[in-house]
Amino acid sequence: MARTILDNIGNTPLVKVESADNDDSANIFAKIEGMNPGGSIKDRIALNMILDAEEKGLLKEGDTIIEPTSGNTGVALAMVAAMTGYKAQLIMPNTTSPEKMKIIKAFGGEVVLIEKNEWGEVKKVIEKIKDRIKNGEKLVLLNQYENKNNPGAHYIQTAEEIIAQMEDLPDPNFFVAGMGTGGTITGVGLRLKEKFPNIKIIGVQPVSGDTIEGLRSLEDFIPPVVNLDLINKIYDLEAKKALEAKDELAKTKGILAGPSSGAAFFISKQLAAENPGATIVTIFPDRGERYL
């Protein structure tokens, strides 16, 4: 049977990306999520949340999905919505890259921009959407910040792929993930900790005041999907360092990825330098073309 584009979500490659200054001792393996059809890790959760909402009868043909998103979930929802006959309205900060907005529109999605300050208080953004629904607007909020099918997609899919891809490699000592909703670190972290009980789960968030697109500081808001008990340490990273590491990925590894991939790479390299011989698994969440 012919496979649709949605059947090609996931099964992304795991690539070895040693640090340039420490090539022999570092063992950093990155999952290249930009190779998903919609260009980011968010394809996985968009499909999982939509399938679950359909199963529960919450989403029917012709419905409009509404979602607060830093962009990638918007792209993914617009793509899946285009395939499944829904409309998508995406509420995004005005700092989102123009490319992401154009991609969403190309998939037929509607972009609604809000001020960066307003976006910083995402709890209020979600409340406003819930009020619109209470007041009778026919919208379906999947809510990646609260929806268990966000970490669930990573528990059942992303983590299992990593485990299979690590089969012939040493057991990982660290898992490093940038944190936006916290869905990735929670879903992958939980499954990897079950499989490798000694693994350390490491989060990366922007230092207060800086923007690393896709990431968000827990100082602003602790999303209900995050399981803080799982996380051994969270690093606050300056945006400048994430951007430099993103450029290093393109120029020395041939991987054109986004700023949050740079953030994950920077902290993975730091851990590699501090722990010679350690095996580190990380996630590069999206493609770099959408930040040019």
Ligand X SMILES: Cc1ncc(COP(=O)(O)O)c(C=O)c1O
Q: Footprint of ligand X on this chain (CB under 6 A)?
A: 70, 72-73, 178-184, 213-215, 258, 260, 285-286
Nearest-angstrom CA–CA distance, 265 and 257: 10
> Exactly one of 31, 42, 241, 269 is catalytic; which is it?
42
Contact 184, 41 (CB under 8 A): yes
Return the amino acid letter for 218.
Answer: L
Residue whose CB is less far from ligand X, 113 or 273: 113
Nearest-angstrom CA–CA distance, 144 and 196: 27
Residue 13 CB neighbours (<10 A): 11
Write down the least CB distance from residue 270 to ligand X, Å: 18
Residue 247 CB neighbours (<10 A): 14
Nearest-angstrom CA–CA distance, 153 and 161: 11
Contact 10, 158 (CB under 8 A): yes
Nearest-angstrom CA–CA distance, 94 and 111: 10
Write down the least CB distance from residue 195 to ligand X, Å: 19
Helices (H) and strands (E) in the chain, counts: 10, 10
Residue whose CB is less far from ligand X, 27 or 73: 73
Residue whose CB is less far from ligand X, 172 or 180: 180
Write down the least CB distance from residue 180 to ligand X, Å: 3
Write down the least CB distance from residue 286 to ligand X, Å: 4
Q: Which residue is nearest to ligand X (CB)?
A: 214
Pair of tokens at residue 8: 């090609």
Residue whose CB is less far from ligand X, 15 or 273: 15
42 is catalytic: yes
Give the three-class secondary structure for 51: helix
Tokens 């693994």 appear where?
A: 199
User: DSSP letters along 115-176, please?
Assistant: -HHHHH-HHHHHHHHHHHHHTT--EEE--TTT-THHHHHIIIIIHHHHHHHTTTSPPPSEEE
Residue whose CB is less far from ligand X, 48 or 73: 73
Write down the least CB distance from residue 237 to ligand X, Å: 12
Write down the least CB distance from residue 133 to ligand X, Å: 22
Pair of tokens at residue 282: 């990380």
Residue whose CB is less far from ligand X, 25 or 94: 94
Residue 78 CB neighbours (<10 A): 29
Nearest-angstrom CA–CA distance, 43 and 67: 14
Catalytic residue numbers read 42
